[in-house]
Amino acid sequence: MKALLVTIAGVILAFVASVLRAPWLAAAASLVAICGAYAQFRAGQPFELMFSDASWRESDGGFSLSVPRAMHKKVRPTATVFEGVATTFHWVGVSIQVSDSGNVELGAATRFTGKVVIV
């Protein structure tokens, strides 16, 4: 949402610059709008984390893997987990919980190598 507001502010500033006929302000407004649009693009990209079987930690008779919000940077994350290596992956059902702070916690009965995709 912040990225969208930055983009809108850049567009409004560009309009004001055209009314005032201030080319320096128009250039600054264009830069602000481009930065906002790039931030929107980055926010829409999925976060992928590759992990190995050594990445899991023992927890309550099973294993858990945590992906903090500071790492994936998604506001309301949803996760999908895949097992495999290199380019060969298949979906695997694991326990997925998202905390109020946005941390994604995965739970599994056994350790495995794979990746988690968070959008």
Task: Decide if pLDDT at 100 tops 90.
Answer: yes
| Total of domains in the chain | 2
Same domain, 32 and 51: no
Same domain, 22 and 63: no
Q: Copy the structure tokens of residue 36.
A: 């906002």
Task: Decide if pLDDT at 46 tops 80.
Answer: yes
Distance of CA 101 to the CA centre of its chain: 14
Same domain, 52 and 102: yes
Q: At residue 88, what are phi and psi to the nearest 5 degrees?
A: -105, 105
**Quick one: pLDDT at residue 54?**
96
pTM of structure: 0.72
The burial of 90, by beta-carbon neighbours within 10 Å (0-12 exposed, 13-18 middle, 19 or more buried), is given as exposed
Same domain, 15 and 69: no
Task: Decide if pLDDT at 43 tops 90.
Answer: no
**Mean pLDDT, residues 77-103:** 93
Same domain, 23 and 59: no
Same domain, 51 and 84: yes
Query: How many other β-carbons are positioned within 10 Å of the β-carbon of residue 113?
Result: 15
**Quick one: pLDDT at residue 99?**
95
Q: At residue 57, what are phi and psi to the nearest 5 degrees?
A: -120, 150
Same domain, 53 and 34: no
pLDDT-based confidence at 44, cuts 50/70/90?
Answer: confident
For residues 87 and 101, the answer to whether their CB atoms sit within 8 Å is no
* Edge-to-edge strands, sheet with 104-108: 57-59, 62-67, 104-108, 95-98
Same domain, 63 and 107: yes
Q: What percent of the chain stands above pLDDT 70? A: 100
Of residues 87 and 104, more confidence is placed in 104
Q: Which domain holds residue 19?
A: 2-44
Task: Decide if pLDDT at 85 tops 90.
Answer: no
Question: What per-residue string of b and e applies to 22-47 under the rule 16 or more CB within 10 Å gives b?
Answer: eeeebeebeebbeebbeeeeeeeeeb
